[in-house]
Amino acid sequence: MSDHLNAPELAKEFTGRTALVTGAASGIGLAVAERLAAGGAAVVLADHNAEGARAAADKLVADGARAAATPRVDVTDPTSVESAVSFTVDTFGSLDLAVNNAGIAGPTQPTGEHDIDAWNEVIATNLSGVFHCLRHELPVMVAQGTGAIVNVASILGTNGFVGSPAYVAAKHGVVGLTKTAALEYATQGVRINAVGPGFIDTPLLADASDAERDQLVALHPQGRFGSSREVAELIVFLLSDRASFIQGSYHLVDGGYSAQ
């Protein structure tokens, strides 16, 4: 690996590599899939919204990329995740990069009143879903002797947030899971890191009222929401050889939220 990559090299730095992105039908996942495809990777898009993932993959292919969508993936179901990993390897021959991004917001309720079914759903999706992905991605990468994984946590993986006990607990868990797995696989050629986005203008905020959006924007010193593309750039950097000595770390992209 050269010490410095020039612009043409950066443009196709993922040529010959295959990436699996969960939650790829929209938002951060879609932005990551698009950015990886632009960098030369073959990209597999996985989502519970199979139609959305397929439409996104078709557009990437029409634009000249190598891309495919899995059948519907439910990250709460380890068998479904295993099928997505197998699909990736069967379709493109390897699994070199993975972005475990699928997640849900859950209801806004204080801890003492939080709906138990909603708690279980958020934990199953946002935390156990990441574990299921790691559980099936890691053996493939270890067998290859190489791989890079980014788990999408949240700024709420380091802060609390009133009314979101399940989401906050799950995202804290993702950070801890990332650090543990990174230690376990550091000598086996696999890098594992996490990102912590602030509030990003994605479909997860679609139901927020104007007043709620204004309140959330005010939490960020830059005075705006982040964009999916801004988060994707950080994720793609962590997946790249440029981040070859970054292991088990948690990187915030939050417009100053955590600096206050």
Is 250 an active-site residue?
A: no
Alpha carbons 132 and 9: distance in angstroms, whole number: 34
Q: Which of 167, 185, 250, 257 is catalytic?
A: 167
Residues recognised as catalytic: 167
